[in-house]
Amino acid sequence: MARVVVDVPLAHLDRPFDYAVPDKLVDTVQAGCRVRVRFHGRLVDGVVWELGDTTDFTGSLQPLSHVPSGEPVLTPQVARLVRTVADRYAGTASDVLRLALPPRRSAAEKRESPTPDALPEPPDPAGFARYTAGPALLDALAEGRPARAVWTALPGEDWPARLVELCRAALSGRRGALVVVPDGRDLDRLAAAATALLPAHSFTVLRADDSPEKRYRAFLAASRGAAQVVLGTRAAMFAPVRDLGLVVIWDDGDDLHSEERAPYPHARDVLVQRAWLDDCAAVVAGTTRTAEGALLVESGWAHELVADRAVLRLAAPRVQALGEDFELARDAAARSARLPSLAHEAARKALAADTPVLVQVPRRGYVPSLACGRCRAPARCAHCAGPLGISPRPGPGGTRIPACRWCARPAATFDCPHCHGTKLRASVIGDARTAEELARAFPGAAMRTSGSTSGVLATVPGGASLVVATPGAEPVAEGGYGAALLLDSWALLGRADLRAGEETLRRWMNAAALVRPASAGGHVVVAADAGHPVVQALVRWDPAWLAARELTDRRELGFPPVTRMASVAGSPAALAEFLAALRLPEDADLLGPVPERPRPGQEGERERYLVRVPRASGAALAHALAEVQGVRSAKKVPEHVRVQLDPLDLV
């Protein structure tokens, strides 16, 4: 008898179903293999959850219809994780399995997965010697002990090499390792370090942009136990690593770690669950620290892995804010000018020293958005009310005419509906316009842009040049940047977002970490008020202080991660029916409704409620939400209600 989880997206069918194993398939069927079964008259895909000899079903069991392959793609450890994640996020096991298992490719299954010739020796501890407990962490991994750490990397750190050294320590103790990074550029650097430091065939890379067959081969190398180290992006959080001894996530504050498909799990939380279920080591790493990381340290679940302040001062660049009193006295326009004298001078010195200069701007494009020049109200299209912007491509006669970013209609004239002003100003200046301004300010300097519009650069040469990049697209410079200019800070700090301060510091520090140490002339200039806590954390290079402050503020206000939040969105009628059936925990707060921000393809009026509970009641909240989804699914209610636990965006 086989218990099968069928691929049916109905919440009330979220359980295994028993099927008889025909005699001809007894030698083929294994726990974790893919099967095809008859379900309600249809032939559907499924995965064998487990095999058994008895069943509670009193009728006659239907037989398995077809077994495409006996390859066990779902290990018992991952099956347990799938169930845990589904329960935590009020989802279904079939939804999580779609995230965990790549599509099958028969040609890949026919190929053998090569194995490494030998296990590596423990890594040289010199790389982690700059951190107080670094060598002790490597020893714990080599001995198979479940050490947990929140690692704040030093500026200029070769973090891909350090992460691979953690994997090597685990591998030397005959344990597997899993590392999850935000994007393909980070994965390329990590894979290059693994190639240099790990034995051939001891690791595999799960890359989202690989061909389906290549990705499935990499997956099979892990599930077969041939490669005990798995490196990948978000989807790799479910990778079937054998004898798992270590899970690592790099830059856990990046929103790319949050899955966009139901049940919307976050890679950091999934890996923390894996560390608990498999009793293995875990490292939450990054240049900065999130409030969730601070909570892990505060609760005692993890220890800090940081360097002494003396070591930090030797590695960090010099950081200055334009709002400092001395700078304001020297340059009265420093607070309002986009490129004041301090930033201009820092860039000039770096270029004169034949080093590149990084310029970070928060938005791509030329002038992504415009506002009324008199009252500063956002400029809207007279036809469709869409936002007005300026294209980098000049129109007839070499002029750039504002146009709607929704319907593309030009706005040759403008009349503000609030104050009847007729002039426009840039509310956010993009990377293309910034590059144009800098080209005029530094004639003759080589200019490069890195972003989604112009293409993301992985690296730049070490000579004198200006590199304009959007956050997350900053290329690595050979030898490090001589200076970094962090512009338009108010566009990041002024966002109506719970994580605005934390996210701003993450973006700034990721860019500033690419700059040379102060002893080598490295200089970072941030266009922001020096008294702002986020700016202070950057100037002092103390992300742990800001994370602890954020955690304290959120505890007082009842915000995540101290509490758990659920977002429930749908039409007003569907939400009223959903909430009427919802049995919330006694300590739950129901907030709303508010109009939901429209999503692509959605039509009609939609609202959103937020449900807040103490962290200890999170499981009860998830169970209550899943219960209502199951009832609505069984009744075949046509209107869908979107349920998301722990959403990143609470606006």
pLDDT digits (tens, 9 = 90+) for 499-514: 889 999 999 999 999 9
At 328 the pLDDT is: 41
Q: Report the amino acid identity of residue 428.
A: V
Q: Name residues whose C-beta falls within 8 Å of residue 79's C-beta, 6 or more positions apart in sequence.
A: 32, 49, 50
Domains annotated for the chain, with CATH where assigned, are 2-75 (3.40.1440.60), 126-310 (3.40.50.300), 317-366+428-540 (3.40.50), 563-645 (3.30.70)
Query: Between β-strands 523-526 and 318-321, what pairing exists: parallel, antiparallel or unpaired?
Result: parallel
Region 172-181 average pLDDT = 97
Mean pLDDT lowest for which of 32-41, 42-51, 65-74, 603-612?
Answer: 603-612
pLDDT at 440 over 70: yes
Quote the pLDDT of residue 338: 52
At residue 67, φ and ψ (nearest 5 deg) are -120, 100
Evaluate the CA torsion angle 395, 397, 400, 403 in order and state its sign.
negative
| Binding positions for Zn(2+) | 372, 375, 381, 384, 404, 407, 416, 419
* Residue-level pLDDT at 341: 81
Contact criterion met (CB below 8 Å) for 281 and 170: yes
3-state SS, 381-436, equals CCCCCCEEEECCCCCHHHCCCCEECCCCCECCCCCCCCCCCCCEEEEECCHHHHHH
336 pLDDT band, cuts 50/70/90, is very low
- Evaluate if residue 20 carries a pLDDT over 50: yes
In the predicted model, is pLDDT for residue 384 greater than 80?
no
Give the integer Cα–Cα distance in Å for 491 and 470: 12
> Quick check: 259 pLDDT over 70?
yes
**In the numeric block, which tokens belong to residue 430?**
């993009």
Of 54-68, 336-350, 564-578, the range with the lowest mean pLDDT is 336-350
CB contact burial 527-550 (16+ within 10 A = b; e otherwise): bbbbebebbbbbbebbbbebbbbb
The more confident residue out of 44 and 600 is 44
| b/e 205-224 (16+ beta carbons within 10 angstroms → b) | bbbeeeeeeebbbbbbbbbb
- Residue 428: the pLDDT is 54
Contact predicate 232/164, CB 8 Å: no
600 versus 137: the higher-pLDDT residue is: 137
What are the pLDDT digits (tens) for 525-551? 998 888 899 999 999 999 999 999 999
pLDDT at 288 over 60: yes
Read off the amino acid at residue 633: S
**Closest to 176 in 3D by CA, of 250, 116, 229, 114:** 229
Whether the pLDDT of residue 435 is over 80: the answer is no
How much is the pLDDT for 324?
47
pLDDT of residue 400: 64
Is the dihedral angle over the CA atoms 56, 60, 65, 69 positive or is it negative? positive
Which residues belong to the annotated binding site?
372, 375, 381, 384, 404, 407, 416, 419
Q: At what angle do helices 543-557 and 291-298 cross, to 10 degrees?
A: 90
Mean pLDDT of the chain: 89
Residue 629: predicted pLDDT: 96
pLDDT at residue 598, as a whole number? 65
The answer, yes or no, to whether residue 335 has pLDDT greater than 60, is: no
User: Residue 215: its pLDDT value, please?
Assistant: 96
What the block records as the tokens of 325 is 């009193």
Three-state secondary structure of 140-168 = HHHCCCCCEEEEECCCCCCHHHHHHHHHH
For helices 76-88 and 618-634, give the axis angle rounded to 10 degrees. 90
* 425 has a pLDDT exceeding 80: no
179-183, 219-223, 360-364: least confident range: 360-364
Where residue 404 falls among pLDDT bands split at 50, 70, 90?
A: confident
Residue 35 pLDDT > 60: yes
Q: Is the whole-model pTM more than 0.85?
A: yes
The 10s digit of each residue's pLDDT in 43-75 is 999 999 999 988 888 888 999 999 999 999 999
Question: What pLDDT is stored for residue 497 in this prediction?
Answer: 76
